[in-house]
Amino acid sequence: MHELSVDLGDRSYPIFTGAELFSKPEYLLPYIHGQQVCVVTNETVAPLYLQQLKAVLGDKEVLDVVLPDGEQYKNLNTLNLIFDELLAARHNRTTTLIALGGGVTGDMTGFAAACYQRGVDFIQVPTTLLAMVDSSVGGKTGVNHALGKNMIGAFYQPNCVLADTDLLKTLPERELSAGIAEVIKYGLVSDYDFFVWLEQNMDKLLAKDEAALAYAIDRSCQNKASVVARDEREGGIRAILNFGHTFGHAIETAQGYGVWLHGEAVAAGMVMAADLSQRMGMISKDDLSRLVGMLRQAKLPVMAPDTMTSDDFIALMSVDKKVLDGRLRLVLLQSMGEAMVTSDIDRALLLQTFSAC
């Protein structure tokens, strides 16, 4: 077991990574302060792990809420289902919500915890690689709106995160790949040595080698925790973690939520951001090829959907949260392993990227 701390003053919390954590009460019970617990999960995960989790919770008063599975359900209506159940079961301010699932479950459960009775405790038990390395760490919670992804939400930190690699045994290949997209992101934006490690160990990750997965999760979380500790509410440096996401969110919004997985859209978005970085003279064509090659090996898309035009991207990207006072800001690669945020973007080159990718 590896323990990592996200340092946020009185909102600091531990991330536990490793195998066989999930069935041990010592990683959960110390972080639950009341008698009431509400486990929020989805239809896919519930048959696999819900009973196991409830067994660990001992004599707590446990409610479970099983949501439909998929990004297309990450909205205010589904959120309200959680509130319905909590109120019907008379859960009070001392309740603890546990998110058992992927990024969608974690984002919605965290936001429900942020809002229920103006804030109750919550714990993340991610069941996908993407949730373990990205969405369960850092306190971004929320739901989508028909006009934009994650537009409604809160910064709200969990009491702890339990990333048990055993839970990845049942993860479908496509979801594994989607998670690897975010893992690759950390190498690209802030950790070149990790990028090189990924080039050498991608086959192990794809084969779900336990040691390789544990290492990749822990190193990804270290990268994320370090950035989040410096800039919790994304006033500055944290924005580099959005590398590929402004393009990616446009893809997700255009396709309709749930058609592409978030990690798949981010993969194509990272290629677009890297392509623009190359056109702007910051990275080489070889660098771009290394990225494209790695994503291909991980069975991830490296192009936007054929159906999307430049106009689609322009329209959708200008409502992304990364726009400040009307100006588009993008995260680009200064070099491999070093990202920067800039609003100094050559429009002609951006249009070339839209055409090329």
Q: Which stretch binds its own copies (CB under 8 A): 1-9, 140-148, 194-202, 264-272?
A: 140-148
Cβ-proximal residues to 206 (8 Å cutoff; 6+ apart), any chain:
173, 176, 177, 180, 297, 298, 299
The dihedral over CA atoms of 45, 130, 12, 84, expressed in degrees to the nearest 10, equals: -40
Beta strand 323-324 with 327-328 is antiparallel
Residue 146 dihedral angles phi and psi, to the nearest 5°:
-55, -25
Residues 231-270, mask of contacts with its own copies (x by CB under 8 A): --x-------------------------------------
Other CB atoms within a 10 A radius of the CB of residue 329 amount to 18
Shortest Cβ distance from residue 233 to its own copies (Å)? 7
Q: Token pair for residue 194? A: 């990790």
Cβ proximity to its own copies: between 171 and 240 the closer is 240
Q: Does 230 bind its own copies (CB under 8 A)?
A: no
Which residue from 26, 93, 285, 286 is in contact with its own copies, where contact means CB under 8 A? 93
Q: Does 76 bind its own copies (CB under 8 A)?
A: yes
Which residue from 68, 119, 172, 236 is in contact with its own copies, where contact means CB under 8 A? 119
Q: What is the DSSP letter of 64?
A: E
Q: Which stretch binds its own copies (CB under 8 A): 90-98, 164-172, 243-251, 330-338?
A: 90-98
Cβ proximity to its own copies: between 35 and 52 the closer is 35
Shortest Cβ distance from residue 39 to its own copies (Å)? 18
Three-state DSSP state, 216: helix
Active site residues: 118, 140, 182, 224, 234, 238, 242, 245, 249, 262
What's the rounded Cα separation, in Å, for the pair 271 and 267?
Answer: 6
What's the rounded Cα separation, in Å, for the pair 320 and 347?
Answer: 17
Q: Which stretch binds its own copies (CB under 8 A): 38-46, 241-249, 304-312, 316-324?
A: 316-324
Which residue from 52, 318, 334, 343 is in contact with its own copies, where contact means CB under 8 A? 318
- Which residue has tokens 């009341």? 34
The dihedral over CA atoms of 336, 165, 155, 142, expressed in degrees to the nearest 10, equals: 100
What's the rounded Cα separation, in Å, for the pair 133 and 135?
Answer: 7
Which of 245, 279, 269 lies closest to 350, judged by CA?
Answer: 279
Shortest Cβ distance from residue 151 to its own copies (Å)? 6
Q: Which stretch binds its own copies (CB under 8 A): 82-90, 98-106, 220-228, 336-344?
A: 82-90
Cβ proximity to its own copies: between 36 and 41 the closer is 36
Which residue from 10, 59, 147, 200 is in contact with its own copies, where contact means CB under 8 A? 147
Q: What is the DSSP letter of 68?
A: P
Total of residues contacting its own copies (CB under 8 A): 39
What's the rounded Cα separation, in Å, for the pair 146 and 50?
Answer: 30
Which residue from 9, 325, 348, 355 is in contact with its own copies, where contact means CB under 8 A? 325
Q: Does 323 bind its own copies (CB under 8 A)?
A: yes
- Which residue has tokens 């939520």? 257
Query: Could you say which residues in the range 16-75 bind its own copies, by CB under 8 A?
Result: 34-36
Run of H or E residues at 236: none
Which residue from 56, 72, 81, 155 is in contact with its own copies, where contact means CB under 8 A? 155
Shortest Cβ distance from residue 35 to its own copies (Å)? 6
Run of H or E residues at 235: none
User: Is the Cβ–Cβ distance between 98 and 109 less than 8 Å?
Assistant: yes
Which of 204, 71, 209 lies closest to 149, judged by CA?
Answer: 71
Q: Which stretch binds its own copies (CB under 8 A): 62-70, 286-294, 320-328, 349-357?
A: 320-328
List residues binding its own copies (CB under 8 A).
34-36, 76, 79-80, 83-84, 87-88, 90, 92-94, 114-119, 140, 142, 145, 147-148, 150-155, 233, 318-319, 321, 323-326
